[in-house]
């Protein structure tokens, strides 16, 4: 399938910015708890391990239900599912803000993890079905840009509010920020009738087997590896830099903030180049190679703290640059009637990577094996490059006959 495989409807700009805002909310909600850990530990008597367990359960629930959310998107439409998902997110956060104890908080965020499952399949189905093909690289750039902003707002906004007014006020603010997004979704025109598959060929696979062909499994691997690297850098580069090189924590935290900031610049440039005709596979491979160079410079110790800073800025830019190309690769291979299911399936890799990063990386850093930490993430980048290059020849084994 090409990017022109669906018929856009009116109001593409409204769809792009509405979906972008909602995607930013979903990322804000994914990281709403960690900046508040010290306050929650003090007020609820919870251990850091217990609070981390809430976060792990959130990601596991999302990963376990995201494909089913994709099935619902294909059946009922992305917009309808996004409305329900965001409403459920706001309800769960409101319950969390009122939680009298640890287990109530855990239950509320389990519900939030369930709601989180709908965002990626719903977002992508809506963008691919309502945005003209020529504008989709831009739409995917806005989508990723908003996600980065959401991640950045968790510590930048919720933490100051939490430490000033309390963690309940911070979670209440997260609910308030979601209300304009919910309103924007309800102001969009309703879903068009969803595409239906053509007549099935004898022996054609159905259900999950129809989706999980080699090409789609390859994209699942790419999403998982990319998320593993992203989670490993964001969560553990400060501790690893301090342990491996002896750099100061305040310097390393500032560098990490800049790493996140330049990622948004990479997203904009990556989307712009795709809009101007760059091959998505070329853009993806170029970004991975640049990320490997940046990570290698940071790992090498060349130039001291300045060299480390330069390397982190390079990989931060590259990690953003890759995102639009990664998403366009999936868009080009996805038939209209399988958009929700395929996006629900491959973006499960995000949650697998986010869950796997602390499980795999934390023991390396905490055990003082920081050299192994740098080598492990470099190996994940190399594997991502090989998988991305393989996507040039891989073809999705899904039946597209009978589709526009």
Residue spans per domain, the chain: 12-187, 210-390
Q: Cα angle at 156 between 151 and 158, to 5 degrees?
A: 90
Kindly indicate the confidence band of residue 148, based on its pLDDT and cuts at 50, 70 and 90: confident
| Mean pLDDT rounded to a whole number for the chain | 87
pLDDT of residue 212: 72
320 Cβ neighbours under 8 A, 6+ residues apart: 144, 148, 262, 263, 264, 265, 266, 267, 270
pLDDT digits (tens, 9 = 90+) for 205-226: 555 666 778 888 999 999 999 9
Q: Which fold has domain 12-187?
A: Growth Hormone; Chain: A; (1.20.1250)
- On the question of a common fold for 12-187 and 210-390, the answer reads yes
pLDDT digits (tens, 9 = 90+) for 279-294: 999 999 999 999 999 9
Whole-number Å distance between alpha carbons of 324 and 282: 12
pLDDT of residue 291: 97
Residue located via tokens 């068009």: 192
Token pair for residue 17? 């910015």
What's this model's pTM, rounded to 2 decimal places?
Answer: 0.80
Kindly tell me if the per-residue pLDDT of 302 is higher than 90: yes
**Contact by Cβ (8 Å): 120, 87:** no
Kindly tell me if the per-residue pLDDT of 195 is higher than 70: no
Cα-trace Rg, the chain: 21
Kindly tell me if the per-residue pLDDT of 192 is higher than 80: no
Kindly indicate the confidence band of residue 315, based on its pLDDT and cuts at 50, 70 and 90: very high
Whole-number Å distance between alpha carbons of 137 and 24: 18
Kindly indicate the confidence band of residue 316, based on its pLDDT and cuts at 50, 70 and 90: very high
Residue 348 CB neighbour total at 10 angstroms: 25
The CATH classification of domain 210-390, taken from the options 3.20.20.10, 3.30.590.20, 3.30.930.10, 1.20.1250.20: 1.20.1250.20
Whole-number Å distance between alpha carbons of 387 and 121: 22
pLDDT of residue 173: 97
Q: How many percent of the chain have pLDDT more than 70?
A: 89
């Amino acid at each position: 399938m090409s990017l022109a495989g669906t018929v856009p409807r009116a109001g593409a700009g409204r769809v792009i910015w509405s979906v972008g805002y909602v995607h930013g909310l979903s990322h804000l909600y994914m990281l709403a708890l960690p900046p508040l850990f010290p306050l929650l530990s003090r007020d609820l008597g919870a251990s850091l391990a217990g609070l981390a367990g809430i976060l792990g359960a959130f990601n596991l629930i999302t990963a376990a239900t995201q494909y089913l959310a994709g099935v619902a998107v294909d059946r009922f439409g992305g917009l309808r599912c996004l409305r329900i998902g965001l409403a459920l997110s706001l309800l769960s956060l409101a319950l969390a803000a009122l939680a009298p104890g640890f287990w109530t908080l855990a239950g509320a965020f389990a519900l939030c993890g369930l709601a989180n499952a709908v965002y990626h399949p719903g977002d992508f189905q809506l963008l691919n079905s309502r945005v003209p093909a020529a504008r989709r690289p831009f739409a995917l750039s806005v989508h990723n840009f908003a996600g980065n902003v959401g991640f950045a707002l968790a510590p930048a906004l919720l933490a100051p509010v939490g430490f000033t007014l309390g963690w309940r006020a911070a979670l209440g603010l997260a609910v308030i920020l979601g209300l304009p997004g919910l309103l924007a979704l309800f102001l969009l025109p309703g879903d068009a009738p969803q595409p239906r598959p053509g007549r099935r060929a004898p022996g054609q696979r159905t259900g999950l087997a129809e989706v999980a062909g080699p090409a789609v499994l390859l994209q699942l691997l790419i999403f998982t590896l990319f998320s593993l690297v992203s989670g490993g850098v964001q969560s553990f580069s400060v501790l690893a830099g301090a342990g491996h090189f002896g750099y100061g924590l305040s310097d390393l935290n500032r560098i990490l903030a800049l790493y996140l900031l330049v990622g948004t610049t990479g997203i904009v440039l990556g989307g712009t180049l795709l809009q101007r005709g760059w091959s998505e596979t070329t853009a993806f491979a170029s970004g991975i190679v640049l990320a490997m160079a940046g990570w290698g410079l940071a790992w090498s110790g060349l130039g001291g703290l300045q060299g480390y800073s330069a390397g982190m800025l390079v990989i931060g830019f590259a990690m953003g640059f890759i995102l639009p190309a990664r998403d366009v690769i999936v868009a080009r291979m996805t038939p209209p009637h399988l958009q929700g299911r395929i996006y629900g399936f491959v973006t499960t890799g995000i949650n697998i990577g986010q869950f796997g990063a602390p499980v795999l990386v934390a023991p390396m850093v905490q055990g003082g094996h920081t050299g192994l930490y740098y080598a492990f993430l470099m190996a994940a980048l190399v594997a991502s490059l090989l998988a991305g290059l393989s996507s040039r020849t891989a073809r999705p084994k899904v039946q597209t006959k009978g589709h526009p």
